[in-house]
Amino acid sequence: MSTKKSTQERMFSEVGSGLFEKAQSYGLEYLSKVFDRNVFPENQALVDLEKFVEEMPTQSEDASKVIDLLHQFGSPATVATMGGRYFGFVTGSVLPASLAAKNLSLFWDQVSAMQVMSPITAKLEAIVEKWLVDLLRLPPNTVAGFVSGSSMANFCGLVAARYRILKNKGWDITEKGLFDAPRIRVLAGRHAHSTILKAVSLSGIGKSNMEWVDVDDQGRIIPELIPLLSDNTILILQAGNVNSGSFDNFKSICQKAQTQGAWVHIDGAFGLWAQASQKLKHLTDGIEFANSWTVDAHKTLNTPYDSGVILCADKEALVSSLHMTGGYIITGNERDGMLYTPEMSRRARIIEFWAALKYLGKDGLGEMIQGFHERAIQFSKGLNEIKGFHILNEVVFNQVLVGCETEEITTQTISKIQELKVCWVGGSTWLGKKVIRISVCSWATTETDVDLSVKSFEKALKMVLQSSNE
């Protein structure tokens, strides 16, 4: 008789074998270095990624060896976005309390579809929904769908708006679709995020049907250029331009749009959180007059990836556009998460979201967000003092745009900064020119991190100028 264990027997024996302790200790080792290490992987670590390349194995592996391999060659090939000197895109770190909550909840492996599948998840979604409505001062009937990020949230906002506009004209989009439906207009500022375009495309409206409104030198919609709107119009505004960090003038625009019967959607992926800071909340004045809002948790709030929210003041529109039915569906009398999201099964990302808000409280959250702004100001002042760098935006929130004497020098300086690995920034295009884009959105960024990074910028520029003189 064979003594070879079945796969099931092996799996039972992995529980309690020290496997989880090992993964945990690797994780802790990683955490202990991530704040000090170079931000981008060393070249060798990138070369070593080849160790993962193989045909799908035929034979089972020891679980412990799977984890070893991942740590040995995976950990060094990560980007230290958790640390304090990653300023790329708009990324955000992870709050320790939120990460620990995720760690615990990994063992729960909950599904967020229905209350009956996970009472704790349904409860926390209901609580965070209330907290957000209160924190962001949105209309009291606003509901939340917890999705993977702002791409998905923008899509949900758009389909809710589409539903409402057509429903009011006697057309049920969920049954009849868009063919032969009354025409919908979608307006956005020229600096709308590219995920808005994706949402317009996914929702069947079509990108070439969009109407664009010109923006000012900070990327804000010029209110006087918005044409007359009506009850067939979706107007998309922005809280936090992904380059300059600027905010549209919500108060005047939203109130006017409201009287003209339009639906206003605000993409506030990282900027909506300005509302949580006493000193910055003037930026979000008037957002309460919109109909739907997008905000990420994984960026400014520093929860683990991935996590975003669609907030919608019209529950019927959101739920009608997204919900599904089936013989086996058991809806509860409280909250069934899947009614508010495109997905049925979703991981219970609300756990880390709740933990972040519970841990910080309103005061801690305000302090953290104010800190991003202060570090961004420090960055811009530091660079402004160095000959050859120019700050190109008003630093109203957490974003800083920097240019050098020529676009060529800017491009080379970005590469050099990345090579030096002290910090990481990417490039972008601003008003037609190549720029360096800095986004401060990690709780771990200290004044020292900014000083070190400014020095690295200076060194990089010097190296570029020297090599061009040679």
Ligand X SMILES: *Cc1c(COP(=O)(O)O)cnc(C)c1O
Measured between alpha carbons, how far is 309 from 153 in angstroms, rounded to an integer? 6
Please, what sign has the CA dihedral across residues 348, 349, 355, 361?
Answer: negative
Least distance from C-beta 192 to ligand X, angstroms? Answer: 8
Listed ranges 170-178, 198-206, 262-270, 351-359: which one lies at the site for ligand X (CB under 6 A): 262-270
Closest separation between CB of residue 324 and ligand X, Å? 22
Inter-residue contact 5 to 44 (CB < 8 Å): no
Query: Can you tell me the distance from the alpha carbon of 110 to that of 125, in angstroms, rounded to the nearest whole number?
Result: 13
Tell me the C-alpha to C-alpha distance, in Å, between residue 459 and each of 405, 440, 456, 469. Answer: 16, 20, 5, 15
Say how many residues make up the chain. Answer: 470
Q: How far apart are the first and last CA of the chain?
A: 77
Contacts of 290 (CB under 8 A, 6+ apart): 237, 250, 254, 264, 265, 266, 313
372 binds ligand X (CB under 6 A): no
- Pairing mode, strands 292-296 and 390-391: unpaired
- Return the SS3 of 343: coil
- Can residue 193 be called a binding residue for ligand X (CB under 6 A)? yes
382 binds ligand X (CB under 6 A): no
Q: Among 88, 145, 157, 240, which residue sits at the site for ligand X (rule: CB under 6 A)? A: 240
> How do beta strands 143-147 and 185-189 pair?
unpaired
Report if residue 399 touches ligand X, rule: CB under 6 A: no
Site stretch for ligand X (CB under 6 A), options 69-77, 145-153, 328-336, 370-378? 145-153
Query: Could you tell me the CA-to-CA distances from 176 to 167, 184, 209, 408 in Å, in that order?
Result: 11, 15, 20, 53
Residue 308 interacts with ligand X (CB under 6 A): yes or no: yes
Binding string, residues 8-37; x marks residues near ligand X by CB under 6 A = ------------------------------
Token pair for 141: 């009937």
Q: Which of 151, 284, 303, 412 binds ligand X (CB under 6 A)?
A: 151
The CB-of-151 to ligand X minimum distance in angstroms stands at: 3
By CB under 6 A, residue 352 contacts ligand X: no
Question: From the CB of 190, what's the least distance to ligand X, in Å?
Answer: 14
81 to 110: interface string for ligand X, x by CB under 6 A:
---------x--------------------
Query: CA 302, CA 368: separation in Å to the nearest integer?
Result: 10
- Tokens (6 digits) for 324: 């599904």
Residues in Cβ contact with 282 at an 8 Å cutoff, skipping those fewer than 6 apart: none
Looking at 234, 242, 422, 450, which residue binds ligand X (CB under 6 A)? 242
**Interacting stretch for ligand X, rule CB under 6 A, among 203-211, 229-237, 267-275, 348-356?**
267-275
Alpha carbons 209 and 187: distance in angstroms, whole number: 9
Q: Which residue's structure tokens are 């918005």? A: 226
Q: Rule CB under 6 A: is residue 303 a binding residue for ligand X?
A: no
Please pick, from the candidates 101, 269, 395, 402, the single residue that binds ligand X as defined by CB under 6 A. Answer: 269
In one-letter notation, the amino acid at residue 19 is L
Q: Which is nearer to ligand X, 157 or 337 (CB)?
A: 157
* Position 300 contacts ligand X (CB under 6 A): no
Beta strands in 351-395 (DSSP E): 390-391
Give yes or no for residue 403 binding ligand X (CB under 6 A). no
Q: Provide the minimum distance between the beta carbon of 167 and ligand X in the complex, in angstroms, as a whole number.
A: 26
User: Is 244 near ligand X (CB under 6 A)?
Assistant: no
For ligand X, the closer CB: 218 or 413:
218
The interface region with ligand X, picked from 31-39, 99-107, 118-126, 144-152 by CB under 6 A, is 144-152
Please report, as residue ranges, which positions from 418 to 457 form the binding site for ligand X (by CB under 6 A). Answer: none
Residues near ligand X (CB under 6 A) are: 90, 149-151, 193, 195, 240, 242, 267, 269-270, 296, 308
